[in-house]
Each structure stands twice: as C-alpha cells, then as structure tokens.
C-alpha cells in the first residue's frame, strides 16, 4: 500500500523540511473529497533557506563536467521508471487522474525529460567563429538559480519538464507546485537526491501565489518558468521583467481542431476525445473548439456521443477507470458555471454537463453543438471536460475563425488530403500543432505557444536556449590597433 502522506511539507537542501509557522492547507483527494494530509505554506525562512541552498548548489553543480551532470539526470530517470507505480498512485491522489493515465503519462513523461536532457548534457557546447587571423568562441553558461512554478494538472511532469533542462544546463531550481497538488514534486526532489544531485540543487517549497510571488522577485533568482493561466502569467512575467529576469511562460489556451469533410471520422472522434476529455479535460493544449464540416457534423456527433457513453467513470485507482474527477470543488464550480452559460447562450447540449451525485468533485463530460464564435464557451478557457462543436463550411473562413482568439497554444487538423493538412496548419496561429492526431507531447519535440498563451519553449533542444546564455569571447592574434 503506497503511503501518499508526505514526509514533510518542503524539500530543501537535500532533505525534507517542516515549518509549522506557515499557513496550513489541506491536500484533498478529488475522487472522494477526503483530506489526505495537511501541509504548510513556505514562510520567508523556508524560501530563504531554499534560495540559499540553491545558490550554493548551483556553483558546485556548474563546476562539474556536463557528462557527470547528465549521469545524475539519467540515473534519476531510471529510478523514476522503477518507482513508476508508486509515483503514479501519488499523482492520482494529488490530481484525481485515473491510474490508467498516470501509469503512462506522468512519471514516465518526467523520466523521458530527465533521460533526454541527461543524454544531451555533454553535447551542450559553444561554437568557434573564424575571423581571418582572429577568431571568437562562445561558451554556453547556466543562468543561475531558476524558479519553477507549476499548475495542478500534471504536477510530476511539470516539475520534470522544468528541472531536466535547467539542471542539464548547470542551473539549480526552487520549485513551487500548485497548492492544489503539493505531493508529487516532493518525490521528484527525493529521486534527484537519490540519483546523486548535490543537496540544494532541486528544492520544493509549498504555498499559494504569494509564495510564488516572493520567489519571482528575489534577487537571487535569474529565471522564472511558470505553467499556469494567462492572468497569472501576465502578473509573473511583469514582476520578472522588472528585474530583467529570463522567463518561460506555458499558459492557457482555447485551441482549435478542424475536422474537414474528407477526414477519417473515427480518427477525428478519437482526436476530439483525447483533446477534450483526457485528464477530465484539464489540459492546457486541449482542442476545445472543434470545427466540424457541416456535411459530417451529425455523424461526428453521433459517434462522439456513442463512444463517450462507454467512458468508465469511477474509482481512479481501478485501472479500468478512464475518466476521473475534477481536481477541486472550486474548479468544478467554474466548469459547471460555463456549462450553464453555454445553455443560456443557446448552444445545444448533446450530452453530459451535470454534476454527479457522489462524494468528491465529479461531473459528466459535456459536448455542446451549434456553438457560435461569440459564445462565452467558445471564447474562454474552461479547463474541464466541455467540448464545443462549431460548424465549418469553408477552409479560409475556418482558419480565420480559428485564429480569432488571443490564445495560441495548439491547433489540430483532421483531413486525408495531406496538401490541405499542411496548408491549413501553416496558417494557424499556434505553437504546437497536430495533423491527424491530437495532444502528443514527446520530449523530442518543442512544446510552447504563440500570442498570449506563452513565451519560450519547453522540451527538445529548443529548451536549452531558455536555460542557458552565451558568453562571446573575441581573440585577437596580432597587435591591438588604436586611433591614438
């Protein structure tokens, strides 16, 4: 039996740390509403200890050979895979996501990131620039202490997607999970220590936005990487900008998925299910505006409703379950508010949308049809299992409508005409796009957004640019000439 109760609230300088002076808050299991543990928000003493430890560890870590650093990360990846089941059970308690998902999408994705960045650590070189007799070279240097701030939907993955490239480049990190999901990142810290990371290299401090705000403005911090909503992103970005800190912002979205009349409908339905109902719809890149060609719309809706009826909702620890609860009462209320608004605005509720009468935070996944661009449910990020199906008549018009949003995280297209697929994707304003698929996020591929959905990229070689800086060195081989 996995004990999900954390050893202590924080993980600082290579060990668990408690400080009961911090504001207490409960860790609630979304599937039942039961309180699993109480943790404390980090006091200033805790954040100071974490930042001091990270500053110390960073100097020591950056002095190691990149290969030695990489080995710690790949060892951590191995330990994570060995402990996958235990970590998945903790992630399920943290978020409510079914074990069927967490066994394949959380610690495994975290391990992929640690393995990938551990593997490329010793290939992070500068370049030689010939200039006739003279020459120059560049040195790729770490930024220093980085702060990671996470959302509640993928706590293990978010911690690893930030820590892995940061540490590979020679940085240290202080990570603040969402107050809703404080458990999982502590395990990432524990595993990095076990893999040989020096004490203080990766610290976890708990708390609400106020603790995040304290970290963001601290002069010891060189970079801030946030996964969260656009509103929080704007606040954190401007606070970081005031001190000229580097930032990565992975924010929200209202992404379009375009289903043309020549699409394989069964595959398009699969994409729409993945892009709206996986993790109970609490995924930033979800394709929540599904534009379906009018001529195939009813067939699409019919298949969608039929397949949705086979979703197995229930105990998230039962591996047969494939649809779990919403993360919190607060988030459930927000989502149900959007369902009510969709009905008021005249959208057709095809199925679902009601709160389920059971302990915990449950609702039936919802599909709205006949949604128009001006409706609130088509404009705002809901962050729950609510799909809006909009009519599509013409390719150019659909592209213009798809782009008519301040967001720009993801976009998908379903068509068997590959020329159309590439043409349409090229015109869609989004960072992470899919052709005849949806929501794949392998570590080898850059992940990120355009417009208000964020800045910077996570994963792939692209992440290196956001966790390191170049020093240029000009080398004169002859005399230095001066005008006087």
Active site residues: 162, 250, 284, 458
Q: How far is the CB of 182 from ligand NDP (least distance, A)?
A: 9
Closest by alpha carbon to 168, among 55, 105, 74, 52?
74
User: Of residues 28, 42, 151, 259, which one binds ligand NDP by CB under 6 A?
Assistant: 151
Q: Is 276 in the site for ligand NDP (CB under 6 A)?
A: no
Q: Residue 170 or residue 454: which is nearer to ligand NDP going by CB?
A: 454
Quickly list H helices, 284-435.
Answer: 297-308, 329-344, 376-379, 395-403, 418-427
Site for ligand NDP in 404-443 (CB under 6 A): 409
Q: Is 41 in the site for ligand NDP (CB under 6 A)?
A: no
Distance of CA 461 to the CA centre of its chain: 17
User: Of residues 150, 360, 365, 385, which one binds ligand NDP by CB under 6 A?
Assistant: 150
Cα–Cα dist 385/286, whole Å: 10
Q: How far is the CB of 207 from ligand NDP (least distance, A)?
A: 7
The piece of 53-61, 231-239, 273-281, 420-428 that touches ligand NDP (CB under 6 A) is: 231-239
Q: Residue 96 or residue 454: which is nearer to ligand NDP going by CB?
A: 454
Q: Residue 329 or residue 472: which is nearer to ligand NDP going by CB?
A: 329
Q: Is 25 in the site for ligand NDP (CB under 6 A)?
A: no
Q: Is 179 in the site for ligand NDP (CB under 6 A)?
A: yes
Site for ligand NDP in 247-266 (CB under 6 A): 250-253
| DSSP conformation class of 294 | G
Q: Is 153 in the site for ligand NDP (CB under 6 A)?
A: yes
The piece of 62-70, 126-134, 228-236, 461-469 that touches ligand NDP (CB under 6 A) is: 228-236
Q: Residue 84 or residue 153: which is nearer to ligand NDP going by CB?
A: 153
Q: Residue 405 or residue 415: which is nearer to ligand NDP going by CB?
A: 405
Q: Residue 251 or residue 421: which is nearer to ligand NDP going by CB?
A: 251
Instruction: Kindly tell me the number of DSSP H helices and DSSP E strands found in the chain.
Output: 16, 22
Provide CB contacts within 8 A for 480, sequence distance 6+.
Answer: none
Q: Is 216 in the site for ligand NDP (CB under 6 A)?
A: yes
Q: Is 148 in the site for ligand NDP (CB under 6 A)?
A: no
Q: What is the DSSP string of 215-271?
A: HHT-TTEEEEEEES-HHHHHHHHHHHHHTT-EEEEE-----EEEE-TTS-HHHHHHH
Q: What is the DSSP string of 25-93?
A: EEEE-TTT--EEEEEEPPPHHHHHHHHHHHHHHHHHHHTS-HHHHHHHHHHHHHHHHHTHHHHHHHHHH
Task: Judge contact between 288 and 387, C-beta under 8 A.
Answer: yes
Task: Judge contact between 129 and 135, C-beta under 8 A.
Answer: yes
Q: Is 229 in the site for ligand NDP (CB under 6 A)?
A: yes
Q: How far is the CB of 135 from ligand NDP (least distance, A)?
A: 40
Phi-psi region of 181 (alpha: psi -120 to 50; beta: other; left: phi over 0): beta
Cα–Cα dist 321/158, whole Å: 24
How far is the CA of 342 from the CAs of 118, 129, 281, 346, 369, in angstroms?
46, 59, 17, 6, 10
Closest by alpha carbon to 375, among 452, 289, 295?
289
User: Of residues 228, 316, 385, 456, which one binds ligand NDP by CB under 6 A?
Assistant: 228
Q: Which residue is nearest to ligand NDP (CB)?
A: 212
User: Of residues 36, 129, 136, 208, which one binds ligand NDP by CB under 6 A?
Assistant: 208
Task: Judge contact between 155 and 94, C-beta under 8 A.
Answer: yes
Q: The dihedral of CA 98, 248, 335, 407: what is its sign?
A: negative
The piece of 119-127, 148-156, 190-198, 273-281 that touches ligand NDP (CB under 6 A) is: 148-156
Cα–Cα dist 6/68, whole Å: 30
Q: Which residues pair with 81 in a beta bridge?
A: none
- Provide the 3-class DSSP secondary structure of residue 349: strand
For the record, the structure tokens of 425 come out as 């994707």
Closest by alpha carbon to 460, among 161, 251, 231, 226?
161
Q: How far is the CB of 474 from ligand NDP (least distance, A)?
A: 39
Q: Is 173 in the site for ligand NDP (CB under 6 A)?
A: no
Q: How far is the CB of 308 from ligand NDP (least distance, A)?
A: 22
Site for ligand NDP in 73-132 (CB under 6 A): none
Q: How far is the CB of 125 from ligand NDP (least distance, A)?
A: 29
Site for ligand NDP in 379-408 (CB under 6 A): 381, 383
* Site for ligand NDP, rule CB under 6 A: 149-153, 176, 178-179, 208-209, 212-213, 216, 226-229, 232, 235-236, 250-253, 284, 381, 383, 409, 454
């Amino acid at each position: 039996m996995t004990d999900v109760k954390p050893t202590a609230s924080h993980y600082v300088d290579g060990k668990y740390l408690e400080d009961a002076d911090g504001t207490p808050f409960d860790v609630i299991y979304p599937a039942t509403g039961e309180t699993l543990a109480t943790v404390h928000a980090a006091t200033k003493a805790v954040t100071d200890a974490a930042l001091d430890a990270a500053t110390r560890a960073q100097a020591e870590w950056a002095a190691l050979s990149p290969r030695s650093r990489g080995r710690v990360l790949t060892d951590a990846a191995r330990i994570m895979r060995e402990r996958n089941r235990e970590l998945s059970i903790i992630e399920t308690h943290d978020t409510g996501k079914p074990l069927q998902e967490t066994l394949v999408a959380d610690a495994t994705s975290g391990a992929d990131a640690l393995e990938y960045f551990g593997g490329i650590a010793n290939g992070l070189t500068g370049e030689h620039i010939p200039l006739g007799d003279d020459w120059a070279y560049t040195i790729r240097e770490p930024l220093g202490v980085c702060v990671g701030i996470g959302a509640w939907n993928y706590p293990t993955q978010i911690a690893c997607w930030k820590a892995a490239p940061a540490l590979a480049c020679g940085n240290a990190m202080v990570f603040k999970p969402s107050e809703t999901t404080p458990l999982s990142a502590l395990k990432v810290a524990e595993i990095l220590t076990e893999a040989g990371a020096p004490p203080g290299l990766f610290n976890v401090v708990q708390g609400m936005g106020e603790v995040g705000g304290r970290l963001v403005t601290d002069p010891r911090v060189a970079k801030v990487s946030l996964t969260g909503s656009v509103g929080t992103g704007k606040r954190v970005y401007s606070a970081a900008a005031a001190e000229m800190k580097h930032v990565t912002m992975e924010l929200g979205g209202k992404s379009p998925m375009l289903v043309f009349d020549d699409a394989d409908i069964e595959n398009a339905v699969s994409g729409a299910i993945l892009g709206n109902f996986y993790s109970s719809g609490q995924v930033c890149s979800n394709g929540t505006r599904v534009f379906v060609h009018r001529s195939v719309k009813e067939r699409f809706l019919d298949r969608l409703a039929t397949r949705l009826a086979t979703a197995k909702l229930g105990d998230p620890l039962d591996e047969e379950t494939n649809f779990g609860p919403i993360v919190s009462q607060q988030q459930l209320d927000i989502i149900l508010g959007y369902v009510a608004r969709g009905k008021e605005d005249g959208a057709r509720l095809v199925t679902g949308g009601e709160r389920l009468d059971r302990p915990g935070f449950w609702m039936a996944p919802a599909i709205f049809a006949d949604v128009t661009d001006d409706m609130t449910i088509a404009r705002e990020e809901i962050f729950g299992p609510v799909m809006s199906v909009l009519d599509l008549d013409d390719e150019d018009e659909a592209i213009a409508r798809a782009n008519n949003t301040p967001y720009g995280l993801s976009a998908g297209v379903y068509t068997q005409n590959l020329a159309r697929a590439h043409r349409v994707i090229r015109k869609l304003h989004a960072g992470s796009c899919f052709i005849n698929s949806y929501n794949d996020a392998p570590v080898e591929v850059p992940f990120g957004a355009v417009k208000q959905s964020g800045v910077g990229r996570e994963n792939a070689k692209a992440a290196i640019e956001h966790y390191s800086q170049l020093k240029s060195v000009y080398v004169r081989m002859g005399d230095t000439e001066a005008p006087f």
